[in-house]
A and B are shown apart, each in its own frame.
Chain A
Amino acid sequence: EAQVTQNPRYLITVTGKKLTVTCSQNMNHEYMSWYRQDPGLGLRQIYYSMNVEVTDKGDVPEGYKVSRKEKRNFPLILESPSPNQTSLYFCASSSTGYSNQPQHFGDGTRLSIL
């Protein structure tokens, strides 16, 4: 089954404790992306990747890191999380970076930073 898998689904942690949210897709997609979703703001893009070893900042990259060492994986790293990073996070992939391609989303990771 074609899917985007994120882990963990829920995480409660404390300020400053490094964490990684994993994302994996099995569709051989080139384009992968991370979003955060906050009430009234829709989804905002954090980082995206056009292909292996190619990553770019989205709208809200501050406080986040990403890497794309393999085509299928695109982890999101919070080196020193802060409470304002409490949010619902989604990973997505599409076959290419063209804007008319459908994005396939994971089920989300709800992150709480105390």
Chain B
Amino acid sequence: TQLLEQSPQFLSIQEGENLTVYCNSSSVFSSLQWYRQEPGEGPVLLVTVVTGGEVKKLKRLTFQFGDARKDSSLHITAAQPGDTGLYLCAGAPVRGTGNQFYFGTGTSLTVIP
């Protein structure tokens, strides 16, 4: 069982559509991060959300941290082919073991021109 579950696992949409990716856990996190990974490369950090209820915007991407700090969402408005990639949420649970870090199961997004 993964500590961080993402949905959907795969998403294929047309350019210009909106989409939301979810990251859920039964554990409380002090912060959650979102990364994007492209083929042949390592993940790259997009954003860190720290406060419960926090909303952060990065151009067409909107990130939200749940009030209880157990979940997060990523919303993309008017998706473009350049948004194609694997999106990963990540963090360390408050009641975790030392400084162990967990990643979500990932959402593979394909935006069709």
Give A contacts to B, CB under 8 Å: 4, 31, 33, 35, 40-45, 48, 50, 56, 58-59, 90, 92, 97, 99-100, 102-103, 105-108
B101 touches A44 (CB 8 A): no
Do residues B42 and A59 form an inter-chain contact, with CB atoms below 8 A? no
**Binding site secondary structure of chain B:** loop
B102 engages A100 (CB within 8 Å): no
Distance from B51 Cβ to chain A, minimum over Cβ atoms (Å): 11
A95: shortest Cβ distance to chain B, in Å? 12
Chosen A-B contacts, 5 in total, with CB atoms closer than 8 Å, are: A33-B101, A48-B101, A105-B44, A107-B41, A108-B41
A50 touches B99 (CB 8 A): yes
A45 touches B44 (CB 8 A): no
What is the bound-complex CA distance between A43 and B90, given in angstroms?
9
Contacts of A106 in B (CB 8 A): 42
Q: In whole angstroms, what is the CA distance A62 to B13 when docked?
A: 39
